[in-house]
């Protein structure tokens, strides 16, 4: 499709797992649940890709994968809300029928955020 449409079509990655692949093919952005929790890391990934610093971008993308894996195991809205609360933002539970995450899933999110280099909430 990109070969035929050229500059008339802009492509976004719909998977937070593979934005670099899409960027290398000419993509211009991506939609990512992790960006709700790690906006600075996701902007850094985008900037590295735009500058063609692929090795650094790949290392950063790999650090984000753990969070993507948690998002795949649990409901996206519940993950985002739990992750925001873990970072000090009181956003409440997800809207029914999506249940709030239990302690085990919240621990998975906490570990994934730490792995990605998220800063703990300020006291």
- Better-scored residue on pLDDT, 110 or 122: 110
- Which pLDDT score, from 0 to 100, does residue 18 have? 80
Q: Judge whether 28 and 12 are in contact, CB under 8 Å.
A: yes
Whole-number Å distance between alpha carbons of 8 and 78: 37
Domains and CATH numbers, the chain: 2-116 (3.20.20.70)
What long-range pairs does 85-92 form, CB within 8 A, spacing at least 24? 86/110, 86/113, 86/121, 87/37, 87/113, 87/118, 87/120, 87/121, 88/121, 88/122
Helical pair 76-86 and 54-73, crossing angle rounded to 10 deg: 110
Q: pTM value? A: 0.82
12: helix, strand or coil: strand
- Which pLDDT score, from 0 to 100, does residue 123 have? 47
- Better-scored residue on pLDDT, 10 or 114: 114
- Which pLDDT score, from 0 to 100, does residue 32 have? 81
CB atoms within 10 A of CB 3: 7
Q: How confident is the model at residue 20 (pLDDT cuts 50, 70, 90)?
A: confident
State mean pLDDT over 86-94.
Answer: 94
State mean pLDDT over 81-98.
Answer: 94
């Amino acid at each position: 499709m990109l070969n035929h449409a050229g500059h008339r079509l802009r492509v976004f990655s719909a998977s937070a797992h593979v934005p670099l692949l899409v960027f290398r093919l000419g993509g211009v952005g991506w939609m990512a649940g992790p960006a709700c929790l790690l906006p600075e890391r996701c902007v850094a990934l985008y900037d590295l890709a735009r500058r063609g610093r692929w090795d650094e971008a790949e290392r950063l993308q790999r650090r984000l994968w753990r969070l993507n894996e948690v998002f795949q195991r649990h409901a996206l809205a519940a993950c985002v809300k739990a992750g925001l609360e873990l970072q000090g933002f009181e956003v409440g539970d997800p809207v029914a029928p999506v249940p709030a995450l239990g302690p085990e899933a919240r621990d998975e999110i906490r570990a994934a955020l730490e792995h990605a280099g998220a800063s703990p909430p300020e006291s």
